[in-house]
Amino acid sequence: MSWGSPQAIVAHGGELDVHLLGWIKDLLDDLLGGLGDWGVIALAGAMILVIPVGLMVLYFSQRKRGGYDAAVD
């Protein structure tokens, strides 16, 4: 390892090392390899959607019951 490139400096709040990411992807391929590229994309995409969809469903169900009359500015 050399001085650490300027890119490397950002790792804590930013970008990870490209080789490390490659190795982590190899791990994921071993774990999820059967799913194929689009299968992993669909799985990760569904997990990403959990928070926004969950929040919207909860909010509108509570609002329907009259829970947030003052919620809208």
Partner 1 sequence: MNQSKTGKQPLYYGWYIVFTCMFIALVTNGVRNSFAIFIIPLETDFGWSRGELSIAASVGFFANAVTQPFLGRIFDWQGGRRVLLVSMIVFGVATVLLSLTFHFLFLVFLFGLVSGIAASGTSLSNTMALVSRWFRRRRGTVTGINATGLAAGGFLIVPFAAYMLEATGWRITWAILGMLVLGLGVPLSYLFLRDDPSKMGLQPDGDPEPPVEGPTEIPDRPRGPLEVDRWAQAFRSWPIWQLSGSYFVCGFTTSIISIHFVPFAIGQGISPVLAATIFSFMMALNMVGSLGAGYLSDRFGGSKNLLALVYFCRGSAYVLLLLVPGAMGLWVFAAVAGLSWVATNPLTTSLTADVYGVRALGTIGGISFFFHAMGAVISVPMAGFLYDATGSYTIPFAIAGALLFPAALSAFTIRERKYSSRYAAAPAISGASGD
Contact footprint for partner 1 (CB under 8 A)? 1-21, 23-28, 37-38, 40-41, 44-45, 47-49, 51-52, 54-56, 58-59, 62, 65-71, 73
Closest distance to partner 1 from the beta carbon of 7 (Å): 4
Q: Tokens 């689009």 label which residue?
A: 38
Spatial separation of the C-alpha atoms in residues 64 and 23, rounded to whole Å: 48
31, two tokens: 């774990």
Closest distance to partner 1 from the beta carbon of 28 (Å): 6
From residue 15, how far is each of 4, 7, 50 by CA, in Å? 13, 7, 25
Closest distance to partner 1 from the beta carbon of 57 (Å): 12
